[in-house]
Every structure is written in structure tokens, then in C-alpha cells.
């Protein structure tokens, strides 16, 4: 799958710009603050219908404007697909091949993109919530219903918490929410654990290739309930066993919203002990494993976006990383301050971004 072309209108600092991309390697350079990351974000938005982070629409639309557009043409196995996203203060309207889509999963299930961002190290060094987020994004590649389940699950937890905080008789309504939490939570946990099982062997291999050393890397999924057997039942039991405790605390302490995925580097919790460079290498290995899984499970090559990838990596690691990228057969978009920051011998197209305008070099 490749993105052939892209038109941006009032998207962040792009007023109006059209791009025609290379099928393999697109290098995006330019000084700080001119729109390199914004361009990657537009591609991400077009492929997933989401910006990089939760944002208000008015932060995505160019300052002072009321509407924005992202339009692009993908080349997929089943032919050309045109995606057109219109943004306004109220939200977004998505068109696929000229028809309005009411279910954005039609997009997310179709165009896979893997994004390497500088803040990916948060998955390693940050909180369990950051790691849950990484894992849920990973799962969503293979299970397009996952985000919807997460949303419903989180609503059920909020409802249960609201009841826990009231002094009224609780049991009947609580049972109803317990049922929903167990059912959705069981599905969420199952998918996360199954995905980690597939991820594990890949991450270690990629890490050691980039770092050119032999580190033991483990990925664990820790939960207050057992992660074996019938997970729905385990959660239901956990909720009941912890009911008094939950009433005292005023919130639900059992379920996938409390689970803790962990990365273990040579026997130690990476969130506490990994150095900045190790965290970066691990974050890259996690994304590279995501590419590998998409290829093996879905049989397609995702579009790969890399933002400022080589900062904080020593020369050796940089060389191995770019070697991996050269071997990747799919389409790559990579930003860098200088063209010399990127080591790539193959054919490519270079874009110089200045003030929301692009020049090809
Ligand atoms: N909604 C917006 N409208 C106009 N400009 C924006 C908007 N959001 C961010 N910007 C501008 O985009 C610029 C940052 O672009 P970015 O792509 O992050 O730069 P870089 O080239 O360093 O990656 C900043 O100058 C910021 O003010
Ligand atoms: Mg940037």
C-alpha cells in the first residue's frame, strides 16, 4: 500500500499544499517549526482518521480558520482509493471514494500505518497507562472493533464508579455493570495477551539487531486477576471479591484499565532502569515489531512514518536502524533536520518544508 498524493487545506500550518510522493522513500527536511511533523500527522490522520494525540478540532484546523481538509489517494491491492476528510469545529466528515462513511473502521481496517515518534519512549519510561495505550493501538491493527470495546468498557467502569460512590443500595445495578465490565474486559484482556505473545519473540530480535548486543528482553502482562483460563469469569470474580474494597476506594480496582504491561530488560523493569538510549532503542524495536506483525498477520506492508528518528541514537545504532529501513519494502516517510541525518542509498524523493510550503529537491 502506498500513498500516492496528498492535498492539505488549512491543516495546521499548511494553508494549501499538494504533494506527490515516492512509492518507497520520502525524506522530509526543513528547519524546526516549519511543518515536518504536521505533514506526518496529516498522513496519519488520513490513514487512521485520528491525529497523533487527542486534540480539539480547532487545534488541528489552521489558526483563525473554520474548516480544513485532508485528501489523498492510496494505491492498494484492490486498486486506487481516495480518502477525503473534512474538518470543522463540530468534528470530521470522512469520504471514501466519494461516499460519506459513517463508520470510520472502514478506514482503520483498510490502511495500516506504523508511526515512530520521539515521544514513543513514554511507552517504555512512562506509566502503565502509556504502555496500555501502546498495546491497544497495536491490537487495533488486527481487531478494528477494539477501540469501540475500549470506549464502551471505559463507560461501564465510569458508571460502576458512580454507583460505588453513592450510598444507596447497590447490588442490583452493580451486577449489571459488573457483567458488562467482565464481558468487554475479558475481550480486551484476551486480545492484549494474545498480541503480547506474538510480539515477544520479535521485540528481542529487533532490539539486539539495532543495539548489536545480546540483551534479554521480556514483555509481561500483569493483572490483579489471573491471566489464564476464562478471563471474563476471572474479572467477574475479581470484581465481586474486591467489592468492599472498591466501595471504600470509590472506584473499580479490577479490570484491564488497571493492568500493567511491562518491559523487562536484562531482568529489570525498563520503566525504572532503562537509559534514555536503551528506552529509545526499545521503543523503536516495539514499532518495528508492529510492522512485522502487520505483515505476518494481515499480509500487508503498512505505511511507515518516522519523526526525528535518529536523535539520541549512537552511530552504531543509527546504522543498524537505517539498514533495517533499507530492507523494508513498503513506503516510508521520514523527517530529519538535515538530509545528512538519513542514511539511505536507494531512490527517494526529498521535500524541503518551509513555513507550511513544500519544495521538492
Ligand atoms: N492549528 C494550527 N494552525 C496553524 N499553525 C499551527 C497549528 N498547530 C500547530 N501549528 C504550527 O506548526 C508549527 C510546528 O510544526 P511542526 O510540524 O511541529 O514543525 P517541525 O518542522 O519542527 O516538525 C508551529 O509553528 C505551530 O505553531
Ligand atoms: Mg517535528
Instruction: Give me ligand 2 centre to Cα 187, in Å.
Output: 36
Q: How far is CA 235 from the centre of its chain?
A: 26
- Does some domain include residue 121? no
For position 175, what pLDDT does the model report? 87
* Angle (CA) 179 182 186, round 5°: 150
Residue 192 contacts residue 135 (beta carbons within 8 Å): yes
Cβ(332) to ligand 1 under 6 A? no
Q: Which three cell numbers stand for residue 108?
A: 482503520
Cβ(302) to ligand 1 under 6 A? no
**For the chain, how many structural domains are there in total?**
1
For position 361, what pLDDT does the model report? 81
Q: How far is CA 12 from the centre of its chain?
A: 20
For position 173, what pLDDT does the model report? 83
Instruction: Give me ligand 2 centre to Cα 31, in Å.
Output: 9
pLDDT (tens digit per residue) in 229-264: 999 999 999 999 999 999 999 999 999 999 999 999
Pairwise CA distance, residues 62 & 15, whole Å: 7
For position 168, what pLDDT does the model report? 65
Residue 348 contacts residue 27 (beta carbons within 8 Å): yes
Pairwise CA distance, residues 298 & 144, whole Å: 12
Cell 510550503 sits on residue:
357
**Quick one: 361 exposed, middle or buried, by C-beta within 10 A (0-12, 13-18, 19+)?**
exposed
Helix and strand counts by DSSP (H, E) for the chain: 12, 15
Q: Which three cell numbers stand for residue 3?
A: 500513498
The model's pTM is 0.93
Cβ(35) to ligand 1 under 6 A? yes
- Does some domain include residue 67? yes
**Quick one: 8 exposed, middle or buried, by C-beta within 10 A (0-12, 13-18, 19+)?**
buried
- Does some domain include residue 50? yes
- Does some domain include residue 222? no
Cβ(63) to ligand 1 under 6 A? yes
Q: Which three cell numbers stand for residue 104?
A: 470510520
* Straight-line distance from the first to the last Cα atom of the chain, in angstroms, rounded to the nearest whole number: 24
- Does some domain include residue 270? no
- Does some domain include residue 208? no
For position 167, what pLDDT does the model report? 64
- Does some domain include residue 180? no
For position 170, what pLDDT does the model report? 66
Range of the domain at 345: 1-112+300-361
Cβ(13) to ligand 1 under 6 A? yes
- Does some domain include residue 202? no
Cβ(36) to ligand 1 under 6 A? yes
Instruction: Give me ligand 1 centre to Cα 60, in Å.
Output: 9
For position 169, what pLDDT does the model report? 61
Position in ligand 1 atom list of the atom nearest CA 61: 1
Residue 293 contacts residue 314 (beta carbons within 8 Å): no
**Quick one: 50 exposed, middle or buried, by C-beta within 10 A (0-12, 13-18, 19+)?**
middle
For residue 13, give the CATH number of its domain: 3.40.50.300
Local confidence pLDDT in tens for the 361 residues of the chain: 999 999 999 999 999 999 999 999 999 999 999 999 999 999 999 999 999 987 889 999 999 999 999 999 999 988 999 999 999 999 999 999 999 998 877 787 788 999 999 999 999 999 999 999 999 999 999 998 999 999 999 999 999 999 998 866 667 788 889 999 999 999 999 999 999 999 999 999 999 999 888 899 999 999 999 999 999 999 999 999 999 999 999 999 999 999 999 999 999 999 999 999 999 999 999 999 999 999 999 999 999 999 999 887 888 888 989 999 999 999 999 999 999 899 999 999 999 999 999 999 8
| Closest ligand relative to 33 C-alpha | 1
Pairwise CA distance, residues 204 & 273, whole Å: 17
For position 281, what pLDDT does the model report? 93
Amino acid at each position: 500500500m502506498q500513498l500516492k498524493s496528498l492535498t492539505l487545506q488549512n491543516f495546521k500550518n499548511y494553508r494549501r499544499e499538494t504533494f506527490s510522493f515516492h512509492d518507497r522513500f520520502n525524506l522530509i527536511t526543513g528547519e524546526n517549526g516549519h511543518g515536518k511533523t504536521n505533514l506526518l500527522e496529516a498522513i496519519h490522520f488520513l490513514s487512521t482518521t485520528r491525529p497523533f494525540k487527542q486534540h480539539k478540532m480547532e487545534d488541528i484546523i489552521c489558526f483563525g480558520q473554520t474548516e480544513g481538509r485532508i485528501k489523498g489517494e492510496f494505491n492498494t491491492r484492490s486498486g486506487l482509493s481516495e480518502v477525503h476528510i473534512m474538518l470543522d469545529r463540530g468534528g470530521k466528515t470522512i469520504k471514501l471514494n466519494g461516499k460519506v462513511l459513517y463508520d470510520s473502521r472502514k478506514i482503520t481496517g483498510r490502511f495500516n500505518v506504523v508511526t515512530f515518534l520521539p515521544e514513543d519512549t513514554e511507552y517504555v519510561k512512562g506509566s502503565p497507562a502509556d504502555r496500555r495505550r501502546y498495546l491497544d493501538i497495536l491490537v487495533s491493527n488486527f481487531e478494528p472493533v477494539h477501540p469501540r470495546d475500549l470506549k464502551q468498557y471505559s463507560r461501564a467502569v465510569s458508571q460502576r464508579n458512580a454507583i460505588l460512590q453513592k450510598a444507596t443500595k447497590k447490588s442490583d445495578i452493580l451486577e449489571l455493570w459488573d457483567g458488562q465490565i467482565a464481558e468487554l474486559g475479558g475481550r480486551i484482556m484476551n486480545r492484549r495477551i494474545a498480541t503480547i505473545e506474538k510480539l515477544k519473540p520479535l521485540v528481542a530480535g529487533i532490539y539486539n539487531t539495532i543495539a548489536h548486543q545480546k540483551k534479554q528482553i521480556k514483555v509481561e502482562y500483569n493483572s490483579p486477576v489471573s491471566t489464564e483460563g476464562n478471563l471474563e469469569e476471572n474479572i467477574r470474580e475479581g470484581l465481586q471479591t474486591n467489592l468492599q474494597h472498591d466501595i471504600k476506594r470509590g472506584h473499580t480496582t479490577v479490570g484491564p484499565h488497571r493492568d500493567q504491561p511491562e518491559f523487562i530488560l536484562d531482568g529489570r523493569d525498563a520503566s525504572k532502569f532503562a537509559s534514555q538510549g536503551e528506552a529509545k532503542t526499545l521503543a523503536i524495536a516495539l514499532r518495528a515489531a508492529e510492522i512485522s506483525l502487520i505483515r505476518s498477520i494481515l499480509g500487508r506492508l503498512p505505511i511507515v512514518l518516522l519523526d526525528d528518528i535518529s536523535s539520541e541514537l549512537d552511530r552504531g545504532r543509527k546504522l543498524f536502524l537505517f539498514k533495517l529501513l533499507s530492507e523494508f519494502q513498503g513506503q516510508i516517510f521520514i523527517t530529519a533536520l538535515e538530509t545528512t541525518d538519513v542514511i539511505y542509498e536507494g531512490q527517494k524523493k526529498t521535500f524541503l518544508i518551509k513555513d507550511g510550503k513544500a519544495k521538492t529537491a
